[in-house]
Amino acid sequence: MNWKLPFDIPLVVPTMGLPGWFFDTLGIIVFVVHIAFIYTLIGASTASVLYNITGVFKKSKTDDLLAYKMTNPTTISENMGALWGVAPLLVISVLYTGFFYTAILKVSPHILHIIYGNIFAFLLSYAYKFSWHSLHHHKGFHIAIGLVAVLTFYTLPPVFMSMSNLYLQPETFATVQNIWDMMLTPLTGFRLINFFLTAFSFTGIVMIYLGVKWVKAGGEDAEAGHLAIDQGKKWFMWAAPVNIAVLPLVFFAFSPRISEAYIHTPFVFAPFAASVVLTILFFFLLKRFGTSEMNLSDATKAVVLMVVAVALMATARHGIRVVSFEEPLKLQAEATEKYMNDVIAEYKAYKEEMKNAPAVVLDPAVSLADSKGCLACHSVDTALVGPSYKEVAAKGESADVLIASLKNGSTGKWGETPMPPQTLTDEEAKTLVEWVLKQK
Amino acid sequence: MFDFPIFEMPTIGLRMLMAINAIIHVFVSHGGAVGGSVVLALAAWWANKRNDMASYETVYRLLMVFFIITTSVGALTGIGMWIHANIISPNAIGGLIRVFFWKWFIEWIVFNFEVVLLLFWFMTWKQKALTPEGRAKSVRFGIFYAVSSWVTMLIITAILGFMLTPNFDGQPWVDPEVYPGNVNYNNALFNPTWFPGLAFRTFSSIAFAAALAIMWTWLITAFSKDEAIRNTREGLIKLFAKIMIVTVPVGAALGYYYLLQIPEAARAMIPTAMMTRAFADKMDLMYMIISGIGGAVVVTTIIAYFSPKRMPYIAATLMVSAFLLFWGYEERTREFIRKPFLIYNYMYANGIRVTDVPHLNKVGILKHAIFVDEEKKVIKEDKSNLIEVGHTIAQIECRACHTENGINGLKFLTKGWSEAAIRNRINNLPGGGTPYMAPFVGTEAEKDALAAYIASLNKRGEIK
């Protein structure tokens, strides 16, 4: 295996004595919350635009109301999704620093799209939401704003997923040169299918849950609630079957080293378990198909099952990390230790040498020349940007001429390159010129 | 640094790439979140106490503007700071996260409060505005939001302070001669510029936010079709001007106090930091700019206070622009005076640790450049790839601050220089009037290669 790994950061990992499983669990939990919000963001923003369109074509007020109501989960999930993305980033940065940063660097500058592209989409989604009533008579324009926002949101997962696939497979560091090398792999393809399908099924469940709440609230909201329940079921049942089939495959699309080792760990059961849970949820909803009545306890059950499925997917993903990082982490630690021992030995020797070296007494004129930047362009005996001081002294011009050259700058006397005027006091100029003239 | 893949930003350079994100973030986080939360909570409380429902409604519209900007631009450029730091200096941000992991984690928890409180405050405002009890509750959300915003600043200023003044009074934060480095977290946290920096930022943020609020109040009241809303201009602008009358002088005084805590060597760099090297000596110009900015703020504040109704839009915009300039300068200066270090006395701006230097001078910087191809890092017998190798060295050691041909470009800086002159300059980078430059690290052969590469930049296209 051609490993190319950076050194580890030579500072202790601040675990505070907490065991490894603590950080594993923490990593999984914060990731599940983050991804749940992101699923909702993708789905809810799509739903809002979709029902806005159907509302126009069917001239249905209920569709329009549902579309408007879906902008609230969009706003909440985009804020919370970004916020909860920070925690996994923090945990990964401290535990797997070298791998994570290498991946980010390899997919730069495209990775910056998750900042700037996101800001763009965020602002458009706000524009879409807050202009709902004022653009009521310009639906085409309004829908266009929402559509661009949604499509921009869709461009973010491919970028992020490419980075993540790179970082999860450190053996690819040697060969992958840029983001496209990773984006156009079957693994990224599989994971994106899995991502979007999960996002749509997840949103289906969120819609059912919100629908039940709205029905309970009564009034105008109740109609939107019924529609949400009805549509939510369809979202889930369209997206789930393919996902149930694709899900277990995803974890075998990683590099052979990882896939082969993965089979021998208990983690291999997690994706299958996730598929089973999704299947159960499918039949649970099938039994309640064809009616837009649903009670809160059923909706809650559906939410719980969905979250369990997502948590299982996250566990399966964590398993990849465990399997994949074992060897490179060890190699990295060995290499870092050797490097740091060399560095520290050399540094100590250097300090010792400095201590024993006889103190050099510098001519104050030399340090003045140094601090004024003269030595950037001049040396005593070779011509650099400007003439050597020996040459200047040999030419034998008077001190006053040279002082004038320093203060006003000089050009054409030694070559084409000019010397810019130097900022010096009269005293300093005199000291320097006297020193220069001594260099014969 | 050398052990990570190399990413170069052509033309604008890495420093500018980072600066764009950083400056936007500072504007929004200071003016929008930290200062904005205080100013708007205060305004909401004030309007509610006087039972002035029109003003209360105008404050809601102000909040909407602040909400949109802080949650999108502010929050994402905050994450952007990390991503940019990853790209520009993985070793530095990696080290900082090792030192400050738990502080960042706590900050993230506080962020949760901040975001949730803001979402709550904003999204329930309308519904709660209907009853007095509701409004009282709503105002309380605003106050808690302000407190949590400030706590996040409390934590992040510790980290900024650490980068500038990590060691002090013989209380080192790490022993560089031990591996793995055992960090003294308390010494790292309680660094001498933490509290001065925090105090200064707190007051100037509030002042900035009040200026922003004045500008937006002007806009909102000017374009509203509602007579009642239009009439709220006078009262609100006067309120914000009052806030400025208190916070501007206090912020300025604290800024001066902060300045005094900065180490001598760093402070000596301020003129260059503010004016670029060419103008570093024109101190009078620097004072003119400072007094220009200060004067603009003071004059517009006075106008706002004494004649809020007639406060011209130009004045409001001028006030905000003066603040933008001020923060831009402040950030540039703060970043610059740390040079040549990223973490003072520990790591250079190019990510090379001070302890690495003697070893790398012996074995060469390229020996551990894992991600660089052989032919770009091993000089061939016939020296045919000397320039290419030199290019790699520039990418590793110089790219943090220089580009090839754009901002602070090596080509422009060495125009008319012979290769020998360049070689000589590389010998003594921090000398020669540029104390903010890191020393060259590597072997003599690598120095030759770097000089050959830099010299080649001005030779291209010439007939040989």
Domain harbouring A377, CATH code: 1.10.760.10
Mean pLDDT for A215-235 is: 93
Q: What pLDDT shows up at residue A386? A: 86
Q: How many interchain CB pairs under 8 A, A with B?
A: 208
| pLDDT of A304 over the 90 cut | yes
Could you tell me if residue A354 is inside a domain? no
Q: Is the same domain home to A325 and A375?
A: no
Residues of B in contact with A80 (CB under 8 A): 115
Report which of A199, A178, A177 is spatially closest to residue A313, judged by C-alpha positions: A199
Could you tell me if residue A146 is inside a domain? yes
Q: What pLDDT shows up at residue B279? A: 58
Of A339, A346, A372, nearest to B368 by CB-CB distance is A339
Top residue of B64, B79, B220, B275 to mutate, by most chain A CBs within 10 Å, is B79
Q: How far is C-alpha A318 from the geometric centre of its chain's CA atoms? A: 18
Report which of A247, A252, A253 is spatially closest to residue A271, judged by C-alpha positions: A247
Q: Is the same domain home to A385 and A312?
A: no
Which residue range forms the structural domain that includes residue A372?
365-437
Asked if the Cβ–Cβ distance from A126 to B72 is below 8 Å, we say yes
pLDDT in tens, A127-137: 999 999 999 99
**Sole residue written with tokens 């540094």:** A347
Top residue of A93, A111, A182, A370 to mutate, by most chain B CBs within 10 Å, is A93
Residues of chain B with pLDDT under 50: 463-464
Top residue of A71, A105, A417 to mutate, by most chain B CBs within 10 Å, is A105
Asked if the Cβ–Cβ distance from A9 to B95 is below 8 Å, we say yes
Q: Is the same domain home to A314 and A408?
A: no
Q: Is the same domain home to A325 and A390?
A: no
Could you tell me if residue A187 is inside a domain? yes
Q: Is the same domain home to A330 and A183?
A: yes
Q: What pLDDT shows up at residue B295? A: 82
Q: Is the same domain home to A123 and A202?
A: yes
B77 to chain A nearest CA, in Å? Answer: 7
What burial class does residue A367 get, using C-beta atoms within 10 Å of its C-beta: 0-12 exposed, 13-18 middle, 19+ buried?
Answer: exposed
Q: Is the same domain home to A287 and A392?
A: no
What residue type is B219 in one-letter code?
L
Q: Is the same domain home to A158 and A264?
A: yes
A63 to chain B nearest CA, in Å? Answer: 22
* Cα distance between residue B433 and residue B402, in whole Å: 17
Is the separation of the CB atoms in B95 and A102 below 8 Å?
A: no
User: What is the H or E stretch that residue B158 is in?
Assistant: helix B132-164
Of B5, B105, B180, nearest to A10 by CB-CB distance is B180
Could you tell me if residue A346 is inside a domain? no
Asked if the Cβ–Cβ distance from A375 to B99 is below 8 Å, we say no
Q: What pLDDT shows up at residue B464? A: 42
Asked if the Cβ–Cβ distance from A370 to B76 is below 8 Å, we say no
CB atoms near residue A50 (< 10 Å): 20
Q: Is the same domain home to A179 and A44?
A: yes
Domain segments of chain B as ranges: 13-348, 355-457
Q: What pLDDT shows up at residue B461? A: 59
What's the mean per-residue pLDDT of chain A? Answer: 93
Query: Using a CB cutoff of 8 Å and minimum separation of 24, what contacts does A66-71 make?
Result: A66/A224, A66/A227, A66/A228, A66/A231, A68/A132, A69/A210, A69/A214, A69/A221, A69/A224, A69/A228, A70/A44, A70/A45, A70/A207, A71/A44, A71/A125, A71/A128, A71/A129, A71/A132
* Cα distance between residue A170 and residue A191, in whole Å: 18
B358 to chain A nearest CA, in Å? Answer: 6
What φ, ψ does residue A378 adopt, rounded to 5°?
A: -125, 150
Could you tell me if residue A202 is inside a domain? yes
pTM value > 0.95: no
Could you tell me if residue A345 is inside a domain? no
Is the separation of the CB atoms in B368 and B356 below 8 Å?
A: no
* Cα distance between residue B451 and residue B448, in whole Å: 5
Asked if the Cβ–Cβ distance from A94 to B98 is below 8 Å, we say yes
**Total structural domains within chain A:** 2
CATH code assigned at A202: 1.20.1630
Asked if the Cβ–Cβ distance from B90 to A105 is below 8 Å, we say yes
- The region, left, alpha or beta by phi > 0 then psi within -120 to 50, assigned to residue B216 is alpha
Q: What pLDDT shows up at residue A433? A: 92
Q: What pLDDT shows up at residue A289? A: 85
CB atoms near residue B128 (< 10 Å): 17
List the single residue in B with minimal CA-CA distance to A83. B112
Could you tell me if residue A85 is inside a domain? yes
Mean pLDDT for A195-214 is: 97
Q: Is the same domain home to A173 and A317?
A: yes
B353 strand-pairing partners: B347
* Cα distance between residue A286 and residue A277, in whole Å: 14
Both tokens of B439, joined, read 């020393």
pLDDT in tens, A20-29: 899 999 999 9
Could you tell me if residue A42 is inside a domain? yes
